[in-house]
Amino acid sequence: MTEPFITIRELRKSFAMGRETVHALAGVDVEIERNSFSMIMGPSGSGKSTLLYLLGGLDRPTGGRIRVAGQELEELDENALAVYRRRTVGFIFQSFNLIASMTALENVAFPMRFMGVPRRRRQQRALSLLAQVGLADRAGHKPTELSGGQQQRVAVARALVNDPHLILADEPTGNLDSASGHGIMQLLSELHHGGRTVVVVTHEPRMARFATRAVHLLDGRIVTEAEYNAAMLALDAAPEH
Ligand SMILES: Nc1ncnc2c1ncn2[C@@H]1O[C@H](COP(=O)(O)OP(=O)(O)O)[C@@H](O)[C@H]1O
Ligand SMILES: [Mg+2]
Q: Residue 170 in contact with residue 93, Cβ under 8 Å?
A: yes
Q: Is 202 in the pocket of ligand 1 (CB under 6 A)?
A: no
Q: Residue 14 in contact with residue 21, Cβ under 8 Å?
A: yes
Rg (CA), the chain: 18
- Kindly report, residue by residue over 65-116, the tens digit of the pLDDT: 999 999 999 999 999 999 999 999 999 999 999 999 999 999 999 999 888 8
- Percent of the chain beyond pLDDT 90? 88
**Distance from residue 97's CA to the centre of ligand 1 (Å):** 19
**Distance from residue 6's CA to the centre of ligand 1 (Å):** 22
* pTM value surpassing 0.85: yes
Name the band, by pLDDT with cuts 50, 70 and 90, for residue 203: confident
CA distance 49 to 222: 14
Measured from the Cα of 220, ligand 1's closest atom is 14
Q: Which of 15, 94, 199 to mutate to test the pocket of ligand 1 (most atoms within 8 A of CB)?
A: 15
- In the prediction, which pLDDT does 114 show? 83
**Distance from residue 51's CA to the centre of ligand 1 (Å):** 10
The string over 156-169, giving b where at least 16 C-beta atoms fall within 10 Å of a residue's C-beta and e elsewhere, is bbbbbbbebbbbbb
- Kindly report, residue by residue over 28-40, the tens digit of the pLDDT: 999 999 999 999 9
Q: Is 50 in the pocket of ligand 1 (CB under 6 A)?
A: yes
CATH superfamily, domain at 34-58+76-237: P-loop containing nucleotide triphosphate hydrolases (3.40.50.300)
